[in-house]
Amino acid sequence: NLSVEDAARLAQEDPDYGLRDLFNAIATGNYPSWTFYIQVMTFKQAETFPFNPFDITKV
Q: Output the tens digit of pLDDT for each of the chain's 59 residues.
A: 889 999 999 999 999 999 999 999 999 999 999 999 998 999 999 999 999 988 999 87
CA distances from 32 to 1, 14, 23, 41, 42 (A): 14, 21, 10, 30, 33
Q: Under a CB-based contact definition with an 8 Å cutoff, are residues 50 and 42 in contact?
A: no
How many whole angstroms separate alpha carbon 45 and alpha carbon 59? 17
- Note the pTM of the prediction, 2 decimals: 0.53
Q: Under a CB-based contact definition with an 8 Å cutoff, are residues 26 and 32 in contact?
A: yes
